A = this chain, B = another copy of it.
Amino acid sequence: MRPDLTEPLKLLAVRVERVLEQVLPTPELEPSRLHAAMRYSVLGGGKRLRPLLCYAGAAAVGGRTEQADRAAAALEVIHAYSLIHDDLPAMDDDDLRRGKPTCHIAFDEATAILAGDALQALAFELIANDPGHSTERSRLAAIRTLALACGSQGMAGGQAFDLGAVGRQLTEFELKRMHAHKTGALIRAAVLMGAELTGQADSHQLAQLARFGSLVGLAFQIRDDILDIEGDTEIIGKRQGADIARNKPTFPSIMGLDAAKAAAEDTRQQALSALSSFGPEAELLRDLAHYAVDRPS
């Protein structure tokens, strides 16, 4: 049981925070309120799981950290945008996120919609406009991967499946499909983009990394559902039991708590197996697979 991030991963989390600080427009620049809302929603919170997976994906194929910097930031920017929109009154109607008021509470609903929209555009700009560290071909590949992971066959589609699921009994297949889109697609993209941007991953490696990413995404989600039952509101940063109160289907609600814990464990092992052809350079990815299942929040 290694509940915390390892030291190298903690350093990478600090690193992406600095990149985010730099690339996000400041409120000194007009329109101030929009820029303030964007920074509020991205900075100073969150596990930075997607950036870490991106850095770890680059490392796994022998890439350099700076090759993944802007993609790592872009992934967190996309994640933040998705949380802002998910929290809106017309969607999940949440007022607390990462222990702070959600964007539409701290600002207003219109600003929250626009902050999400502007963040999505910023993410693509960050990758398109990355001087020096990657080839044009690899940046285009990463943009393609990100766009597919964000669209109707990825994250936005997953949220649509989620909308159709509230208050309804889902099969395990439907629940997995929803999460594979809603959170899995971006997590998988994070690992892939890191590897793609190095320009030195072969197709077998990319296939294995994609498989690893999907499995880690699933493990992460099962753990999330378990924490919704067992976690402490203060530590998890959102209301404990929020999903159950909303009658949202979860892995424990469908398969039982013990079976969900076993499924998380099994998924971790499968994820580690997907990395069997990689050497010690994939250690960061392995650490993240453990973190996904062992994390306390």
**Measuring CB to CB, which residues of chain A are less than 8 angstroms from any residue of chain B?**
25, 29-31, 33-35, 38, 82, 85, 88, 90-91, 108-111, 113-114, 116-118, 120-122, 124-125, 128-129, 136-137, 139-140, 143-144, 146-148, 150-154, 156-157, 159-161, 163-164
Contact = CB atoms under 8 A, between A and B. Distances in A.
A122 B151 contact: yes
Nearest to A145: B128
Contacts of A91: 110, 113
A160 B31 contact: yes
When A and B form their complex, which 6 residue pairs have the shortest distance between CB atoms, in order from nearest?
Answer: A125-B147, A90-B109, A121-B151, A121-B150, A118-B156, A31-B160
B140 A121 contact: no
Contact of A144 (B31, B109, B129, B144): B129
Contacts of A34: 152, 156-157, 160
Contacts of A148: 121, 125
A156 B109 contact: no
A38 B150 CA distance: 15
